[in-house]
Amino acid sequence: MNNPIYPGITLNNHYRIVRELGHGGFGRTYLAEDAHRFNEPCVLKEFAPQVQGSYALQKSEELFEREAGVLYKLQHNQIPRFRELFRVSIIDRGYLFLVQDYVPGQTYRFLLDARKRQGLRFIEAEINQLLIQILPVLEYIHSLGVLHRDISPDNLILRLSDGMPVLIDFGGVKEVAATVESLFAEANSTPAPATRIGKLGYAPVEQMQMGIVYPHSDLYALAATVLVLLTGKEPHQLLDSQTLNWNWRSQCSLSPNLSLVLDKMLAHSPSQRYSSAREVLLALSGNPPLQPQSQPAYFAPTQPPEHSPIPVPIPLPTPVPKLPGTPVRAVAIANQQKMPAWKMVLFVVAVLSSMGGVGWFAGNYLLNLQSKIQTISPIPQSSGPKQQQEDALRDRFSKLKIDDRFYSGYVNLVDENFYAKYPELGGRLLKEGDDDRQWRERWQKIGDELLDKLENLSSDARARLGTYDTTDLDRWKTEVNKLNLSSRALYDLADAKFFYWFPRQPRDRNIIGLPIGQIWQAITADSLTALQAGATVESVEFDSRAKSKTLTGNLKPGEGKAYIARFAQNQILSVNLQAPPKSTLLSIYSPGNTNKPKALLQDAEGLSWSRTLDDAGFYEFVVVSQSSQPIAYELNLETK
């Protein structure tokens, strides 16, 4: 049966479905807009246990409401806020939905997969930060008698707004769904054992086999998640099925303290694990509790303790200072103002008149303007070959879901490339008929080639073409600074793809506000997303006694990679890049903590550089390809 819940439908006169986010054993998850909150995005989780009979349905709703009450009392910045539980009937079938806040960001599963495609994994510094940021969340929920029961890379989101991990998809409601099905399954006179919640390999054995859970069950799952992020291997690839021991040391090298902490979190015997998230935090800080706390073997989440301990704040490390960023794209960006619409119309008309025609689509451009200016009378459109080719391009434009506001800019770009490639035409207007048929086909080929490039953008970046402005540059600067990168590094990565796509574009041209600038900004938006996913950035850490670090990588045409490394003031830094001749550009940026941030090296083809550093903090190294072929490179950093 086709799913009766589809994009565009409004449920409960309240929530408009935008798209499906995923589905599992108990139903689907949707992104929706809350009509009662100015179309604010939210998440709808559908739970549809296969039960029959009014009593079973009533009982299941009571159980769901009880569990929803548990979620309602969770008020934490790193847990999506629970909004409500509601039931709707569609085509004589009841649906139960749980509504929560939407968290813009990517799951750690997505981030790991993105890194694995680049041959990368999470590093120890990132894991330490993740543990320090997520353990207080577990301490909070455990203090309320609530367990997550399903921690994994799929249920942790790196929030885009502040880079904090968010815990999603609590297992309690899924446990209710499983219990309902086992208790009220059709044609089952004897209730079947309830399905255990938790992912095989992530949840400890006692949880999967007996459904017995305790706070250390969540800590076990968190440690398993951490090892997956560090090694890129799934638990069954690291866990000995005979001894149930974790064999991960051959896959990654960690500091002795973190190794011991993970081993204790993953101990096969529950009594040997940490009893609380606070104990893990203290152990990570190098200050384990003097007297281990005694604990019962297990904790039943449906019967929370009457008195829950009040969580005591753990001091977190001082936040890493954010780097300032200076846009390298266009000198006059900050002071640029939008041209009023009426002036734009006059400007376009004047340009068209002075050129004597800029292409056989120029008339269509004016028609688009006429649709917005009611004082101009409509002109009937031709249905000849020109119109057919235009319709074909418009159809593809629509399929790519590009905003119509960019169509006129797209036509201008095609005209610009067409007349630059065929200067013998002198910019004359193309005609109908066989005389200009080949020229029209060449124009359309250039148009198709441009759309081929735009097809490589993400759907979100494409959808915003025609609407980017300078406020996006300010927002991206703020976002990339959160990654300890400057906007200069972001723009270098964007430039790599942009100039690979448009090699004839001058590098010193101010393109912000132009149609070609819209494409550059869309590429920049995607470049920022890749950085936030960890796909194009790597934090470099030197071993305790090492004075040099060698980094290797592969770049496809138009690709780049950024590295971040912390150095002290007055250190002598030598940088050497080994790559095919004239295949790469290297840029080095200072942190700007003590002195004004600056480009120590920018878009340089030279392979060696050395200098005494006049600032302390995170230095940025950006390697981008300017080759038309895939290349391999080796970047060596050496300090004295």
Question: Comparing C-alpha atoms, which of 114, 154, 125 is closest to residue 564?
Answer: 125
Give phi and psi for 556, each to the nearest 5: -85, 165
Where does residue 294 rank: exposed (0-12), middle (13-18), buried (19+ CB within 10 A)?
exposed
Active-site residue 150, yes or no? yes
Left if phi > 0, otherwise alpha if psi is -120 to 50, otherwise beta: which for 534?
left
Residue 208 CA to residue 196 CA, distance in Å, equals 6
Instruction: Count CB neighbours of 582 within 10 A.
Output: 9
Residue 410 CA to residue 361 CA, distance in Å, equals 11
Question: Comparing C-alpha atoms, which of 162, 36, 42 is closest to residue 98?
Answer: 42
Residue 414 CA to residue 361 CA, distance in Å, equals 10
Question: Comparing C-alpha atoms, which of 327, 629, 289, 368 is closest to residue 489?
Answer: 327
Cα distances from 531 to residues 20, 159, 406, 534, 597, in angstroms, run 25, 13, 26, 5, 21
Left if phi > 0, otherwise alpha if psi is -120 to 50, otherwise beta: which for 474?
alpha
Q: Which residue has the tokens 């430039």?
A: 495
Cα dihedral sign, 86-88-94-100: negative
Where does residue 14 rank: exposed (0-12), middle (13-18), buried (19+ CB within 10 A)?
middle
Contact between 480 and 489 under an 8 Å Cβ cutoff? The reply is yes
Helix (H, G, I), strand (E, B) or coil at 624: strand
Residue 149 CA to residue 137 CA, distance in Å, equals 14
Q: Which of 34, 92, 150, 404 is catalytic?
A: 150
Buried b / exposed e across 505-535, counting CB within 10 Å, b at 16+? eeeeeebbbebbbbbbbbbbbbbbbbbbbbb
Cα distances from 258 to residues 218, 264, 286, 293, in angstroms, run 18, 10, 10, 21
Q: Which helix (H) or strand (E) holds 562?
A: strand 560-567
Contact between 200 and 120 under an 8 Å Cβ cutoff? The reply is no
Cα dihedral sign, 592-598-603-605: negative
Question: Comparing C-alpha atoms, which of 256, 260, 251, 255 is closest to residue 231?
Answer: 251
Q: Which residues are catalytically annotated?
A: 150
